[in-house]
Amino acid sequence: MARGFAILLLLQFLGEMISAGLNLPIPGNVIGMGLLLLALNLKLVRTQWVEDAVELLLSHLALFFVPAGVGVMVYFDLIAAEWFPITVSTVLSTFVVMAVTGWVAKLLEKQGAAHDA
Amino acid sequence: MMRDLLGTPLFGIGLTLLCYALAQLLYRRTASIFLNPVAVSITAIIGVLMFLHIPYEDYAVGGRYIHFLLGPSVVALGFPLYTRRKEILARKAPILIGVLAGALTSILSASGLAWLLGGSRDVVLSLAPKSVTTPIAISIVEKIGGIAPLTAALVVITGCLGAICGPEFCRLIGVRDAAAMGLAVGTAAHGIGTARMLEVDRLGGAIAGLAIGLNGLITAFILPLLFLLFR
């Protein structure tokens, strides 16, 4: 478990270094996600070294978003000032994006399956 | 005495875990998707803080320890990408084109609707990256000139919305395949949606995690360019 956490934190640190060093708009942890995939692929990291830590973190992922969510309270005034366009646009757009993404993926998957057959 | 304790991490961590544990219990007992544990915990904690007139800063002293774990968790999302790599590579085209379509739809629908409804320039710009994971959304908004804190709040609200009813909405519109569903929820509702997808289906969750990164990359690239066109 400790080894897994150490590896994840090390990869996050490397990701942060790359993000800051190259002045990228992509955050270090997202780069770290790519680095973990790469390290597992190159067998630099074995799955059994990290799987306990990964399982523990991912099974509680929702919890880790709570403090950032509570931060919304600081900006209630900003949202209240133009609540109508903000609410309608946020809600509708979220559903439209899910529909478009889901439908495009479904359509292309069907085509791919037909192509293979 | 009470004031001293409020200034320690014990308060924020304790309140978060207590609310989350209760919210999970409520969710399991009622099995209602609208009682999503993240949304319920956030609402309950905000309620407690406002009722007791405790400033957010006091809560954040402890809250930031829990928030810290988001970093390694996002790194950890690389693990299911590796273990499910064959299924993911078999869907290269649907995944890439699906996220690209979703990213464009998100930018245009979020800012377009706000503009049509009379939103100010600040609000229109702040809404544009709302489906992207918070740190990427913030850096984009700082580049194009919206209000960063407003974007941060909208990203969280969007995520909760996708987590609450994303999988159900997908089934309703005929997207039942776990991979396509994960892609839709991850693209629209980033990490909070991904957390829910991981509970629904492991492959769907892995693909939702991939969608966070891809949508972030695509939006970070396209949005500043689109903004130049419409200026």
pLDDT in tens, B141-188: 888 888 988 999 999 999 999 999 999 999 999 999 999 999 999 999
Q: Which of A26, A57, A78 sits opposite B217 (nearest CB)?
A: A26
| ipTM summary value | 0.92
**pLDDT of residue B116 exceeding 60:** yes
- Residue-level pLDDT at B225: 85
Distance of CA B41 to the CA centre of its chain: 15
Between CA A71 and CA B59 the distance in angstroms is: 10
B145: alpha, beta or left, given left = phi > 0 and alpha = psi -120 to 50? left
Q: Are B48 and A73 in contact (CB under 8 A)?
A: no
Give me B16's structure tokens: 């978060």
CB contact under 8 A, A61 and B117: no
**pLDDT of residue A116 exceeding 70:** no
- Residue-level pLDDT at B207: 96
- Residue-level pLDDT at B231: 61
- Residue-level pLDDT at B105: 97
B113, with CB counted inside 10 A (0-12, 13-18, 19+), is buried
> Looking at this protein, which amino acid is placed at residue A51?
E
Which residue has better confidence, B117 or B145?
Answer: B117
CB contact under 8 A, B70 and A64: yes
**pLDDT of residue B229 exceeding 90:** no
The C-alpha R_g of chain A, in whole angstroms, comes to 20
CB contact under 8 A, B101 and A104: yes
Q: Dihedral of CA B133/A109/A101/B230: which sign?
A: positive
- Residue-level pLDDT at B230: 66
Task: Tell which of B59, B66, B74 to mutate to test the A interface (max A CBs under 10 Å).
Answer: B74
Give residue B51's pLDDT band: very low, low, confident or very high (50, 70, 90).
very high
pLDDT in tens, B25-47: 999 999 898 899 999 999 999 99
State the nearest Cα–Cα gap between A21 and chain B, in angstroms. 15
Q: Which of A41, A90, A102 sits opposite B173 (nearest CB)?
A: A102
State the nearest Cα–Cα gap between B1 and chain A, in angstroms. 24
Q: What is the DSSP letter of A72?
A: G
Partners of residue B75 in chain A, C-beta under 8 Å: 8, 11-12, 15, 29, 32-33, 35-36
CB contact under 8 A, A85 and B72: no
Average pLDDT over residues B105-134: 94
Whole-number mean pLDDT of chain B?
Answer: 93
Give, in order, the Cα–Cα distances in Å from B25 to each of A26, B19, B190.
36, 10, 25
Residue B47: phi and psi, rounded to 5, are -60, -45
Give residue B109's pLDDT band: very low, low, confident or very high (50, 70, 90).
very high
Q: How many residues does chain A have?
A: 117
Partners of residue B223 in chain A, C-beta under 8 Å: none
Which of A102, A82, A104, A105 has the alpha carbon at shortest distance from A94? A102
Q: What is the DSSP letter of A44?
A: S
CB contact under 8 A, B212 and A30: yes
Query: Which ranges constitute the DSSP H helices of chain A?
Result: 2-21, 28-41, 47-58, 61-64, 66-70, 76-81, 83-116
Give, in order, the Cα–Cα distances in Å from B158 to each of B17, B83, B92.
23, 29, 26
Q: Which of A69, A95, A112 sits opposite B169 (nearest CB)?
A: A95
- Residue-level pLDDT at B2: 66
pLDDT in tens, A69-102: 998 898 888 899 999 999 999 999 999 999 999 9
Average pLDDT over residues A44-58: 96
How wide is the angle at C-alpha B222 spanned by C-alphas A17 and A21, nearest 5°? 15
Q: Which of A9, A34, A70 sits opposite B45 (nearest CB)?
A: A70
Whole-number mean pLDDT of chain A?
Answer: 92
**pLDDT of residue A117 exceeding 60:** no
- Residue-level pLDDT at A63: 94
Give me B107's structure tokens: 């930018």
CB contact under 8 A, A30 and B78: no
- Residue-level pLDDT at B135: 85
Between CA B94 and CA A101 the distance in angstroms is: 9
- Residue-level pLDDT at B164: 94
DSSP SS3 for A27: coil
Residue A84 touches chain B, beta carbons under 8 Å: yes
Residues of chain B with pLDDT > 90, as a percent, come to: 81
CB contact under 8 A, B78 and A37: yes
